[in-house]
Amino acid sequence: MRELKHKLLRLTASTQSLLSLLLMLSLLLLLTAIILLQGCSFIDLPPIAEAGDPVSGTIDEEVIVSIREAKDPEGKKLIYTWKIDEKPETSSIENSDLVYSGAQVSFIPDARGIYVLQMEVCDGSYTAKDFVIVEITPLPAEETEVPAKAGQASVSAFTSNSLIVNWDPVPRADRYQLFRSQNSDFSASTLIYNGTSREFEDKNLSGGNTYYYQVKGENAAGPGSPSEILEAVTCPYTPGRPVKTDTSIASLKLTWNDVRGADRYELYRDTLNTGTFSRRVYSDTFTSFTDEGLTPGTTYYYKIRAFNESGSSDFAGPYTYTTYSRPPSSIHLVRADSGSIELSWDDQIGAGSYIIYRSHHPDGPYSEAGSSETSAFTDTGLSSGIYYYTVSSVNSAGEGTQSSYLEVEL
């Protein structure tokens, strides 16, 4: 019985603790509700902003936008800020053109399309944002003047097959027409663009060609007067591979075909195929160039490009050319007996082989006695007499000039 009494006492104590906890939670919830209903200075909530439904208007007529709701839960004074978040490409309206007083903003649109205005409210601690869409349509044709005369267009980028044409906004225009002709009097022109952008990339053109452009502004009343004619030239095409038309031990003559529309060419040289090609060796109007002062038996790499008033073509190359190896400076007699003559000479830079020539007279004619891949040669099957020898070096460029002769008596 005593044990049951103890259990009942412990159960009563636990129930009282639970009831106390529930009472405290109830009081806390009641206090929170009172704070929310009456407002409390130590809880700062952000303001509420709703910009409202989309608004429509017409070009050159004032548009007024009023927000749907903006308030602060604590009743603080709100500061309003408006700015343009998006606008048509042809519009020149800036944030400074917005006129606003509190929850209302107005502006005069200058282009057809969609404007997105951002409203921001601030209570000193927090901000809230929302957006309103303004759709602008042109005035009816009978109420609209055609656009003003378009200003001069310009070209901002040139390649051998494209031009990027730009133009300034045209008053009262909400669209633009761009025309192209290949005649300076603008006969037989073609409409190549009609849209709201003020930039157009004209592609698939020919390198080194002259093209002519005019721009017109357009609105519901029709097109305005065209701009003055713009003349533009595409960059020249990349030159073809130069041909080596003459070679010596210290020079290379390179010739290439003329490129339409090019008025200058540049050649750059390096001794490495993967080099920087920072050394310009030629810049002129001619399509042939002799590069002199080179090292015998050496391979050189060249890049070439063409220029005109608009810029340059891409580089062509690198292309590989090699100078002739120098002929031996002197030929040495090793021995002469038993119907044979053995010769030697110094190795030459870049030479892969040598050709040996023989004659009975110092002035020739000389005929080929043989060849050697080393700097030595033995001429056999000879009869007694006086012989004259010359040697030429051979490399990837071909056979160079012959050396001075050596006289040998057998």
pLDDT for 91: 85
pLDDT for 143: 54
* Encoded amino acid at 315, one letter: F
Sequential pLDDT tens for the chain (410 residues): 555 454 444 545 555 666 666 777 777 777 666 555 554 445 678 888 787 788 888 888 888 887 777 778 888 888 888 899 999 887 888 988 888 877 788 899 888 889 998 888 888 888 888 888 888 887 665 456 889 999 999 999 999 999 999 999 999 898 999 999 999 999 889 999 999 999 999 999 999 999 999 999 999 889 999 999 999 999 999 999 999 999 999 999 999 999 999 999 999 999 999 999 999 999 999 999 999 999 999 999 999 999 999 999 999 999 999 999 999 999 999 999 989 999 999 999 999 999 999 999 999 999 999 999 999 999 999 999 999 999 999 999 999 999 999 999 98
Q: Which residue has the tokens 């990339």?
A: 201
pLDDT for 41: 46
- Is residue 367 within 8 Å of 388, Cβ to Cβ? no
- Is residue 148 within 8 Å of 110, Cβ to Cβ? no
pTM: 0.65
Domain annotation for the chain: domains and CATH numbers: 48-137 (2.60.40.10), 154-233 (2.60.40.10), 243-322 (2.60.40.10), 331-409 (2.60.40.10)
pLDDT for 40: 45
Q: Is 410 in a helix, a strand, or coil?
A: coil
Please give the Cα distance from 147 to 149 (Å, whole number): 7
